[in-house]
Amino acid sequence: MSIKPILIAGDPRLATPAVPVTEFDADLAQFVEDLFETNTAANGAGLAANQVGDPRAVFVYDLTDDNGTHRGYVVNPQIELKEPPSREMPDPDDDIEGCLSVPGENFPTRRADWARVTGVDVEGRPVTVTGTGYLARCFQHEVDHLSGLLYLDRLVGRYERAARKMIKRRRWTEPGNSWLPGRDADPFGW
């Protein structure tokens, strides 16, 4: 297993939709383990393949919320929401979201409170996972990554403006920026 560098906002690979997985082999299984190892080293809740520069449609999640600990992965995910998130201003206390590809930053982001993700495992067998609250937020966040979206693309109002300023201030307008969990300082201070 190996920890992979995590791409930072501004890299075009983060804005490129993932390609469906068609090869279900030992390489895919190893890659999923690498994603878990990288996510753990980064203290993340989830990690999508394109965040480490891989174009395949796969994400991992590993988080704890009020309903317990949730750990798993989905290959070729499709998401279903009970109702789409509203475009109203998010609650600055309850709707906070961060991202390993936007290190050290977080912004209030509206998300649906329920989500179901379907896809397959590393052997091509069907997988269905359902979540509410934080887990549903994680599913939406990771599927967005695989669609070529960062959570910054979902921001509205003053949060959208603040994010644009932060991107310029951090000079995340050029491709090629990354950080390596376990080597570089934890940008979230966890």
* Average pLDDT over every residue of 8-13: 95
Higher-confidence residue of 164 and 173: namely 164
Catalytic residue check, 33: no
Residue 187: strand, helix, or coil:
coil
Q: Which of 88, 142, 160, 174 is catalytic?
A: 142
The domain spans of the chain are 6-179
- Judge whether 138 is annotated as a binding position: no
CA distance linking residue 15 with residue 145, whole number of Å: 8
Q: What is the percentage of the chain residues whose pLDDT exceeds 90?
A: 83
pTM: 0.94
The class level of CATH for 6-179 reads alpha beta
- The whole-number pLDDT of residue 176 equals 84
Q: Quick one: the chain helix, strand, coil %, rounded to 5?
A: 30, 30, 45
- The whole-number pLDDT of residue 100 equals 97
Paired with 6 in beta bridges are: 179
Residue 111 sits at φ, ψ, to 5 deg, of -140, 155
